[in-house]
């Protein structure tokens, strides 16, 4: 479940992300009271099976029943795990369209929940999630070529650091960047680390934590946030929460 809001005294409108239907909204009648049909499973980070009834002429389904299959609400016991899972959930909520099946993204979000439970929180898990999410949406980050001149020479991108050109979805080599509006610079170590996690299981991403230095980790984070921001219409609440946890302004 991606989120829910109260509707009347006992009803709730819930936003679900289904492997078969994509993002859908549904009315759960008496959801705040009925434990028979919903139990305590209408909560974030719960993966389950929903029975939906379509309403003629309405975008809103009726949620008849929801049965939990994987309950990851225990993430709430660790504020950083909670923040990371919330960030992934909000990204999926904001970047996907209604009623458009996205099985790859569904599997990726479930993988994020499982990784957040099994592994210590890691910034590189989020980088891997962001890269794979953008690719699934058709916005794959161009990290192996200059988006201006098209050069695919890794040395040309790494020699003086590549500049993130967020409106073009990738990097510009130092020569081309000189004629562009200044952006974040992605150092060679950060670019190579992003390439390493781009297609890897999320569970393997934390291994980079002791290999990539703090400066490169920051550069990678800034680059991905700039690329993602191009597809958002407003700031992410979960990202602001993570920044507060890091003590950033």
Domain containing 38 — which CATH number? 2.40.50.140
> What would the pLDDT profile of 130-173 be if each residue is shown by its tens digit?
999 999 999 999 999 999 999 998 888 998 889 999 999 999 99
Domain assignment of residue 146, given as a range: 75-246
> What would the pLDDT profile of 173-183 be if each residue is shown by its tens digit?
988 988 887 67
Question: Do 58 and 87 share a structural domain?
Answer: no
Question: Do 182 and 91 share a structural domain?
Answer: yes
Question: Do 176 and 226 share a structural domain?
Answer: yes
Question: Do 90 and 48 share a structural domain?
Answer: no
Question: Do 41 and 155 share a structural domain?
Answer: no
C-alpha–C-alpha distance, residues 152 and 154, integer Å = 6
Domain total of the chain: 2
Which of 71, 97, 121 lies at the terminal end of a domain, its last residue?
71
């Amino acid at each position: 479940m991606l989120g829910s809001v109260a509707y009347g005294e006992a009803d709730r409108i819930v936003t679900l992300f289904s492997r078969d239907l994509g993002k859908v909204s549904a009315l759960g009648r008496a959801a705040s009271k009925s434990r028979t049909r919903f139990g305590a499973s209408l909560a974030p980070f719960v993966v389950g099976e929903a029975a939906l009834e379509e309403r003629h002429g309405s975008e809103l389904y009726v949620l008849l029943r929801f049965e939990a299959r994987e309950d990851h609400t225990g993430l709430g016991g660790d504020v950083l795990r909670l923040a990371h899972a919330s960030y992934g959930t909000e990204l999926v909520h904001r970047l996907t369209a209604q009623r458009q099946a996205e099985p790859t993204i569904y599997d990726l979000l479930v993988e994020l929940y499982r990784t957040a439970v099994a592994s210590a929180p890691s910034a590189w898990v989020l980088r891997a999630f962001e890269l794979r999410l953008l690719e699934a949406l058709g916005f794959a980050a161009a990290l192996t070529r200059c988006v201006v001149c098209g050069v695919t020479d890794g040395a040309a991108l790494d020699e003086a650091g590549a500049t993130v050109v967020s409106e073009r979805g990738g990097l510009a080599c130092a020569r081309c960047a000189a004629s562009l509006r200044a952006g974040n610079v992605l150092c060679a170590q950060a670019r190579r680390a992003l390439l390493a996690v781009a297609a890897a299981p999320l569970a393997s991403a934390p291994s980079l934590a002791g290999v990539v230095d703090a400066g490169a980790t920051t550069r990678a984070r800034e680059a991905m946030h700039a690329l993602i921001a191009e597809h958002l219409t407003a700031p992410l609440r979960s990202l602001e929460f993570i920044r507060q946890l890091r003590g950033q302004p």
